[in-house]
Amino acid sequence: MSTTTNTKWNPSLYDNKHDFVFKFGEDLVHLLDPKPGERILDLGCGTGYLTNLIASTCAEVIGMDNSQEMIAKAKAEYPNLDFQFLSATDFQFSEPFDAIFSNAVLHWVLEKEKAIACIYKNLKPGGRFVMEMGGKDNVKRIVDAIKRVLAKHGFTKEAAMDIWYFPSVGEYTSLLEAQGFRVTYAIHYDRDTVLKDNASGIKDWIKMFGSSFFKKANEQQTNEMLNEIQESLAKTNHKDGQWFADYKRLRVIAIK
């Protein structure tokens, strides 16, 4: 997960309880439609699952991420593939790519113009950018609950933090077009996502993806707030005995 925030990634928690992130991305690989011999960059490769899936089509693929923990896990899992520790806002390859692929990453990149410029610069003319990220109002119920509880407990600065960028279709496609891309496909859709642990699904989700909100809180304060957040979401994010995250996704194809 390439990011410009200070999130510390736990690869084991990611793979064991939040593997939906890359498994939902399998459909995005079909949209990418990689061809044998194509040179493809997986931007924000995480632990390498989708990088390996792309490589299975006989494309030449490089995975990049700015989490050293994720890159280490990816190299251990797929030692025959090329993984590099790089930032989404500052990368340059000597040879451009036929396609750049990114799944569930770019909502972490607050300097979105810099990332888009890097993506454009590293594509061949006619190359394609295929991505999915959190769209407008993604996990809004969870985010609102986090901020409400933080403020209640006196963590007003943390409650005001923005650690994600969730744009509308119009906003993000306009940024791409301003860079020079031609957007050929864009969709914003609901994707409620079941969380694995029936007892602590919301709490585990926040520990994985929203830990930055709680850096100033001690363990007891954090656990108290996490319990309160999860309880407050019982009516909206718990059904049929399962917790779910209220995902809204943005999916785009753009051509250089």
Query: For residue 2, is it within any domain?
Result: no
CATH number at residue 129: 3.40.50.150
Neighbours of 31 (CB within 10 A): 16
Query: For residue 149, is it within any domain?
Result: yes
pLDDT at 21: 53
Query: For residue 85, is it within any domain?
Result: yes
pLDDT tens digits for 109-158? 999 999 999 999 999 999 999 999 999 999 999 999 999 999 999 999 99
Cross-strand pairs, 251? 132, 187
Residue 23: is its pLDDT beyond 70?
A: no
Closest alpha carbon to 131 in 42, 243, 192: 42
Query: For residue 6, is it within any domain?
Result: no
- The Cα 27–Cα 147 span in angstroms is 32
With a pLDDT cut of 70, the percent of the chain lying above it is: 91
* pLDDT confidence tier of residue 198, bands split at 50, 70 and 90: confident
In terms of DSSP H, where are the helices of 107-238?
112-121, 140-152, 156-159, 169-179, 201-209, 219-232
- The Cα 161–Cα 99 span in angstroms is 33
* pLDDT confidence tier of residue 197, bands split at 50, 70 and 90: confident
pLDDT tens digits for 154-177? 999 999 999 999 999 999 999 999
Report the residue count for the chain: 256
Q: Which residue range forms the structural domain that includes residue 59?
A: 11-255
For the chain, how many structural domains are there in total? Answer: 1
Average pLDDT over residues 187-210: 92
The label of the residue with tokens 């979105």 reads 112
Any residues with CB less than 8 A from the CB of 167 and at least 6 apart, and which?
Answer: 112, 135, 136, 175, 250
Query: For residue 3, is it within any domain?
Result: no
Residue 244: is its pLDDT beyond 60?
A: yes
Query: For residue 184, is it within any domain?
Result: yes
pLDDT at 25: 73
* pLDDT confidence tier of residue 12, bands split at 50, 70 and 90: low
End-to-end CA distance of the chain: 24
- The Cα 205–Cα 203 span in angstroms is 5
Neighbours of 58 (CB within 10 A): 12
Query: For residue 1, is it within any domain?
Result: no
Angle between helices 140-152 and 201-209 (to 10 degrees): 80
Q: What's the chain's average pLDDT?
A: 92
- The Cα 82–Cα 71 span in angstroms is 10
User: Which two structure tokens, joined as six digits, stand for 183?
Assistant: 């957007």
